[in-house]
């Protein structure tokens, strides 16, 4: 496993981070047992993963907490989150404090290494910063949180307007954002700010339906070509990204997707979710491989570098990324 400095936090984190949400929810979302989900967390740790990302809404905090008891809490970096809206209404500072305590109880720990305000829309940022962030600062002073973070709501904020404002504020020590081969806006929108401010980054949406389901990719390419957003000839290719798969390049489209994100300057942790230990091994292997060939990276940027909001959907049926 490769490890990097997580911004200015002082944490050393694995470049591969186990995401405990998505449709799979460590397998719980696919009907697997808590014991089976626990095996996925343990297998990830045994392969060198030390960063585990969960959230109250995922329903996997209990599993991560059980894993921490088995593995040793000090050997894991645990990130969890609270939504800032409930039933469509903004939560109160008191509700946020209660959410934190509830999460810590499920995680069977006294402290969250990273605690995120979850899915903050641009229109909600001022409230999050002025009313909710002070609760997190107080909790940090009390030893309940080590580092304060924020996550974007990617499908509703594809141009990352919230983070462009938030990352100029020193309170945020880490941020979660979408970045993938056909949604590269963070290269200009986020990474210059996160790198300048020492903000640790967690990348989500690295692999989604668009790369794991060939029909979804073809349909998206055709729609983009019809709008003039990609070359028309790309829509005529049954495998429009097959130029990435060759002897000195990627082993598969999924392999390319993980490697593309992993080696982007400014990327710290590439999050992936799975309910399957075989997929777990494959995902980690891809994340640890070298960068894609420069010619392939250049072509991806030329073709898709100006796109925004493509492929920001929930994962579909089980794949290496789900």
- 8 Å CB contact between 172 and 196: no
Going by C-alpha positions, the residue among 7, 2, 26 that lies closest to residue 146 is 7
At residue 254, the 3 state secondary structure works out as helix
At residue 128, the 3 state secondary structure works out as helix
**Residue 244 confidence (pLDDT) above 90:** yes
Beta partners for 167? none
So where are the chain's domains?
A: 3-205+264-304
- 8 Å CB contact between 42 and 81: no
Going by C-alpha positions, the residue among 251, 322, 319 that lies closest to residue 290 is 251
User: What is the per-residue pLDDT for 31?
Assistant: 87
First to last CA, the chain: 21
Q: How far apart are CA 280 and CA 229, in angstroms?
A: 34
With pLDDT > 90 as the criterion, what percentage of the chain qualifies? Answer: 92
pTM, two decimals, is: 0.94
- 8 Å CB contact between 300 and 50: no
Q: Token pair for residue 84?
A: 């800032």
Q: What is the pLDDT of residues 74-119, one digit of tens each?
A: 999 999 999 999 999 999 999 999 999 999 999 999 999 999 999 9
User: What is the per-residue pLDDT for 70?
Assistant: 95
User: What is the per-residue pLDDT for 23?
Assistant: 80
Going by C-alpha positions, the residue among 189, 272, 186, 276 that lies closest to residue 14 is 272
Tell me the CA distances in angstroms from 268 to 23, 140, 186, 198, 231, one per residue in order: 23, 23, 13, 11, 32
Q: How far apart are CA 224 and CA 22, in angstroms?
A: 26
- Least confident residue range of 2-11, 179-188, 215-224, 307-316: 307-316
Going by C-alpha positions, the residue among 15, 28, 16, 92 that lies closest to residue 57 is 28
Question: What is the sign, positive or negative, of the torsion defined by CA atoms of 52, 272, 319, 42?
Answer: negative
Q: Token pair for residue 210?
A: 């668009």
Q: What is the pLDDT of residues 261-278, one digit of tens each?
A: 999 999 999 999 998 999
Q: What is the CA radius of gyration of the chain?
A: 19
Q: What is the pLDDT of residues 24-45, one digit of tens each?
A: 899 888 888 999 999 999 999 9
Query: In angstroms, how far apart are the furthest CA atoms of the chain?
Result: 59
Query: Any idea which architecture 3-205+264-304 has in CATH?
Result: Alpha-Beta Barrel (3.20)
- Least confident residue range of 20-34, 106-120, 129-143, 295-309: 20-34
């Amino acid at each position: 496993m490769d490890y990097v400095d997580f911004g200015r936090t002082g944490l050393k984190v694995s470049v591969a981070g186990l995401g405990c949400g998505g449709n799979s929810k460590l397998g719980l979302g696919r009907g697997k047992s808590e014991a089976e989900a626990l095996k996925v967390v343990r297998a990830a740790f045994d392969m060198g993963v030390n960063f585990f990302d969960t959230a109250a809404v995922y329903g996997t905090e209990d599993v991560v907490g059980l894993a921490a008891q088995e593995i040793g809490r000090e050997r894991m970096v645990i990130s969890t989150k609270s939504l800032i809206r409930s039933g469509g209404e903004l939560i109160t500072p008191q509700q946020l404090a209660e959410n934190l305590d509830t999460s810590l109880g499920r995680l069977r720990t006294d402290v969250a290494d990273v605690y995120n305000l979850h899915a903050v829309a641009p229109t909600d940022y001022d409230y999050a910063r002025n009313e909710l962030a002070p609760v997190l600062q107080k909790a940090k002073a009390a030893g309940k949180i080590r580092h304060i973070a924020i996550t974007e709501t990617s499908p509703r904020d594809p141009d990352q307007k919230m983070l462009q404002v938030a990352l100029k504020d020193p309170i945020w020590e880490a941020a979660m954002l979408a970045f993938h081969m056909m949604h590269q806006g963070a290269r200009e929108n986020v990474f210059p700010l996160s790198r300048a401010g020492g903000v640790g980054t967690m990348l989500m949406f690295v692999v989604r339906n668009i790369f794991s389901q060939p029909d979804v990719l073809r349909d998206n390419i055709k729609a983009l070509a019809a709008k003039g957003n990609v070359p028309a000839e790309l829509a005529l290719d049954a495998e429009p990204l097959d130029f990435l798969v060759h002897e000195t390049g990627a082993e598969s489209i999924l392999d390319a997707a993980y490697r593309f994100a992993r080696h982007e300057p400014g990327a710290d942790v590439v999050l992936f979710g799975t309910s399957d230990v075989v997929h777990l091994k494959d995902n980690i292997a891809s994340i640890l491989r070298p960068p894609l060939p420069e010619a392939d990276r250049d072509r991806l940027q030329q073709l898709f570098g100006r796109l925004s909001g493509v492929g920001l959907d929930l994962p579909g049926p089980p794949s290496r990324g789900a």
